[in-house]
A = this chain, B = another copy of it.
Amino acid sequence: MGKTTILIASAFVWPYMHNPKGRSKKTGLPPGTLIHVGIARTEKARVSVIDYDTERLLEKELVDVTECIDLRDRPTVTWVNVDGIHDTALLQKIGDCFGLHPLLLEDIANTGQRPKLEEFEGHVYIVIKALVWDDAADRVIEEQISIVLGPNYVLSFQERAGDPFDPIRERIRTNKGRIRKMGSDYLCHSLIDITVDRYFDIVEKIGDHIERLENTLVNNPTPKVLHRINVLKNEMTSVRRSVWPLRDVLSQMQRSDNEFVKEETRLYFRDAYDHTVQIIETVETYRDILAGMLDIYLSSVSNRLNEVMKFLAIVTTVFMPLTLLTGIYGMNFRFMPGLNDPEGFWIILAIMVAVAVGMIAYFKQKKWW
């Protein structure tokens, strides 16, 4: 029982991860105040920049953020990636560099955002959620990724150092695919696309868990199974909460009146949009399956009760008449038939066996046994 307790507790703790509690420290402050809301971090924030066009490629790590003013003004595509959003001073500097609105900066620092797209003067602000499967805790972890898409630059902000975008960097370096030939909108698409691809991995992982759970459900329907069903349902909700608004974001990106996305890139956003729809559909299917499993669980509990009760009824019904028989011949009347008969005992025993066999046959026929 001890193990189950811990598991259940952990199962319910996770949603608070996604709704970080620090939000309340902002109550009463004027809008646009730059405060980090999320899990406190101590490591140093890192800023790396890649600047490229079809021919040239520049890649370096920035120590002083103002260096990128220079890159910003060149026609090449500039991608500034920030690992760690707890360093609000750094965010402020980048914001000054690229002319970001205080409200936008505030949102980057607050990890409680939901996926959204907001248009500002000269750039678009996109929030998406990266999902990672934490093998240790056996659950989904959510990370907020902010993307600012300008005419010839992309800024990306991650909660902590990690390598989710490494395949894209690799593609840029090796000039694989069309990424070097296209603009900042395609780079922005690539960042979102790779995040959506990871959703498929998560969904497959959850699918595996459901499959494993099914076998347990049939062979050993313990309360732990119910708890696992609930945990998986919550995980599904978590994925859904990340994907649904992302779908809207992608739908806005492919709309023809979006000035930041070129005609040729629109097709790629439509493709990513399609992927989110596929994920949503799979999530809904899994939710249906989990609901069905809940039904089966509850009904198997009832069935077990039925079986126990049938067993009790059979035992009681078989033994009660036998006990009554012994009771009758245990009475102290002087005159009872057969008392002194040497065969009496054996005759009664034979009758008892006959009664017992008859009862059992009756239950067999009623299919209780």
Measured CA separation A339–B338 after assembly (Å): 16
**B contact residues around A277 at 8 Å (CB):** 114
Tell me the residues in window 219-244 of chain A with beta carbons closer than 8 Å to chain B beta carbons.
Answer: 219, 223, 226-227, 230, 233-234, 237, 241
Q: Are A288 and B237 in contact (CB under 8 A)?
A: yes
Q: Tell me the number of copies of this protein.
A: 5
A69 at interface, CB cutoff 8 A: no
Q: Are A288 and B234 in contact (CB under 8 A)?
A: yes
Q: Are A289 and B30 in contact (CB under 8 A)?
A: no
> Quick one: given A288-B234, A324-B322, A328-B326, are A296 and B226 in contact (CB under 8 Å)?
yes
Q: Are B218 and A5 in contact (CB under 8 A)?
A: yes
Q: Are A305 and B306 in contact (CB under 8 A)?
A: yes
Q: Are A342 and B335 in contact (CB under 8 A)?
A: yes
Q: Are B331 and A211 in contact (CB under 8 A)?
A: no
Q: Are A301 and B301 in contact (CB under 8 A)?
A: no
Measured CA separation A193–B341 after assembly (Å): 90
> Quick one: given A30-B179, A179-B30, A302-B298, are A327 and B323 in contact (CB under 8 Å)?
yes
A364 at interface, CB cutoff 8 A: no
A61 at interface, CB cutoff 8 A: no
A278 at interface, CB cutoff 8 A: yes
Tell me the residues in window 46-83 of chain A with beta carbons closer than 8 Å to chain B beta carbons.
Answer: none
**B contact residues around A226 at 8 Å (CB):** 295-296, 299
Q: Are B292 and A5 in contact (CB under 8 A)?
A: no
A89 at interface, CB cutoff 8 A: no
Q: Are A8 and B344 in contact (CB under 8 A)?
A: no
Give me the 6 closest cross-chain CB pairs, A-B, nearest first. Answer: A326-B327, A30-B177, A28-B167, A329-B331, A319-B320, A312-B313
A–B complex contacts, Cβ < 8 Å, 19 sampled: A5-B219, A27-B197, A27-B201, A31-B189, A31-B268, A103-B267, A223-B303, A226-B295, A226-B296, A233-B288, A233-B292, A241-B281, A298-B299, A301-B306, A316-B320, A319-B324, A334-B342, A335-B342, A335-B344
